[in-house]
Structure 1
């Protein structure tokens, strides 16, 4: 009885993943879109980070050398649509704050409603340019991430699986969307 309980505990500490390597961002996104429309949660999908922490941990190892490592630092996938919504919200918020601040400032100093409206629009537009700059920074970071991953040998995608059917779906998604070296591996939780 005790050995069955131990085995059950050991099994709970392991999980399976399907991993695949992609040569283009479009193929990677297609595979992720398929996964997300076929029962995978965004929290089950991860990518290799590319920052100082990653370079320190894995050095200059190629993607195929670290694809099965539980030491590989990962990030959750964030959809392009979510990033665009976030950028748009930031620009809108900065416009709103700038417009209100500009209008209130001019109104309190000059007391003119018309001048306050024009000042609000001008200040809002100027403040929204900060948001546009931040959006450009995010795009550059994404582009640099893709270039660094491709220089490492490809874009790695991991999909955590719960069942054998889930494994088959993940393998199908990756193989049919340009992934190669697609396989299942076990990791300790």
Structure 2
């Protein structure tokens, strides 16, 4: 374990300060994230509260409020996933299933005896069920992402932590969090 790390039960915290803020909307939290990245904070220095399932597993709490977990080193963390990244994931899921279905149909129909029209029809027919399945799975992934943020807001807001290596970075993180309507913005002397 590093010299600046302290073990607290199953959680290791390090003696590097961390700014924390609570956001009432995904848009405000996202804007703060992008501004933090723009001024040089690394993606791994920024974390969000884990899912409700992770909170229940780690803390055994079925009911929680954001303000109760702001300074809890045992609160599970998650990485930020942008709306753009979710759109790319949804596209990859839907497109991948369309491609697999089309490929199977194409492989079955592209024999020397098949005609071009029959092959195109087989690809379209084979790809359509895959595209439908892919679209349904993509929507499910997108809905899960939206539900995560809605759940956080229902419990008092979207928590975001920012690891700060020095006093100047602390002040910068606090200024950015507050500048995007972050509530209860403060710094504690440790980070996970």
After the TM superposition, which of the residue ranges 99-108 and 33-42 deviates more from structure 2?
A: 99-108
Question: 1:82 aligns to what?
Answer: 85
Return the alpha-carbon distance in structure 1 between the equivalents of residues 120 and 38 of structure 2: 46
Greater fraction helix:
1
After the TM superposition, which of the residue ranges 134-143 and 177-186 deviates more from structure 2?
A: 134-143
Show CA shifts across 1:3-39 (max 9, x none): xxxxx93479411111001111111111111111111
TM-score normalized with structure 2 length: 0.85
Return the alpha-carbon distance in structure 1 between the equivalents of residues 94 and 138 of structure 2: 9
TM-score normalized with structure 1 length: 0.86
Return the alpha-carbon distance in structure 2 between the equivalents of residues 125 and 36 of structure 1: 40
Q: Is the 8 A contact 2:97 2:131 kept in 1?
A: yes
SS where residue 36 of structure 1 aligns? Answer: helix
Alpha-carbon offset, residue 165 of structure 1:
1.8
Structure 2 unaligned regions, length at least 5 = 7-13
1:9 to 3, 28, 31: 3
Alpha-carbon offset, residue 105 of structure 1:
1.5
Distance 1:164 1:127, change over 3 A: same
After the TM superposition, which residues 144-155 of structure 1 pair with which residues of structure 2 at under 5 Å, given as runs?
144-155=147-158
Tell me the C-alpha RMSD between the 2 structures.
2.2
In the alignment, structure 1 residue 63 sits paired with structure 2 residue 57: no
Q: Is the 8 A contact 2:89 2:138 kept in 1?
A: no
- How many residue pairs match? The answer is 182
